[in-house]
Amino acid sequence: INQGIKISPTTGFLVTSVAPGKVVYADHFKSYGKMIIIDHGRGLYTVYGHLNKFLIKKGRVDQGTQIAELKRGDTLYFEIRNNGIPEDPMRWLK
């Protein structure tokens, strides 16, 4: 069950990390396609799905680090989990 949001880019197709953290998963995952999970510490994780190309597969990232690309016309799946519980990403993106 999708617990996140879909974001249609209006300019560019680069996906960036919303906060510093460590890439803990970068691979194909059923129904999400190519997916990246970043651990931001203190039980906070972000999930980026429906990616076209990985720009990073492991290691630390800073806020704004380019982590992946989308194909023209694709939408990004974005999810936030706090201690394993999905939260409304719009609250965090304000």
Is the pLDDT reported for residue 1 higher than 60? no
* pLDDT tens by residue, 39-86: 999 999 999 999 999 999 999 999 999 999 998 889 999 999 999 999
pTM for the predicted model, two decimal places: 0.91
- Amino acid, single-letter form, for residue 3: Q
**91: confidence class by pLDDT, cuts 50, 70, 90:** confident
pLDDT of residue 92: 74
Q: Which is higher by pLDDT, 10 or 15?
A: 15
Is the pLDDT reported for residue 34 higher than 60? yes
Query: Which DSSP category does 19 fall into?
Result: S
